[in-house]
Amino acid sequence: MSWQATPSNDRTERSASALSEIATAADGDEVTVVVAAVRPWVLEVELDGGGRGFIDNIKDPDWESAEVPAAVVGQSFRAVVIDDQRDPVRLSAFVVDLRITWNKKDALS
């Protein structure tokens, strides 16, 4: 799996497969991800509902942590979609971002 994250402001520019991936992961969605590749600047991940995404280092709480080992291919964890306008979608593994999602869901219920 080799790809680069590219921002896009117009969903009509995307392929049908990219649109179906977006439909499974919208902003604020909490998903389980599996690490597909570890790069120096980003984790490439596959989403549990289908599709792909990335977590850049600034949204990975374990990046450069002396106490926690770096992510490895096959590792699974929870993350939240923070930008569904990108292809692939951008996610965050920070607890604070997950809490924002939880708080929004609580406020709507």
Going from N- to C-terminal start, the domains of the chain cover 27-108
63/86 Cα distance (integer angstroms): 22
| Helix residue spans in 5-49 (DSSP H) | 16-24
- For 59-79, write each residue's pLDDT tens digit: 887 777 777 778 899 999 999
Does residue 36 carry a pLDDT above 90? Answer: yes
* pTM as predicted: 0.71
User: Do residues 47 and 30 make contact, with C-beta atoms less than 8 angstroms apart?
Assistant: no
Q: Which SS3 state, helix, strand or coil, does residue 25 take?
A: coil
**CATH topology for 27-108?**
OB fold (Dihydrolipoamide Acetyltransferase, E2P) (2.40.50)
Does residue 103 carry a pLDDT above 60? Answer: yes
Residue 45: band (very low, low, confident or very high) from pLDDT cuts 50, 70, 90: very high
Give the angle subtended at the CA of 90 by the CAs of 89 and 91, to the nearest 5°.
120
Q: Region 77-89: what's the mean pLDDT?
A: 93
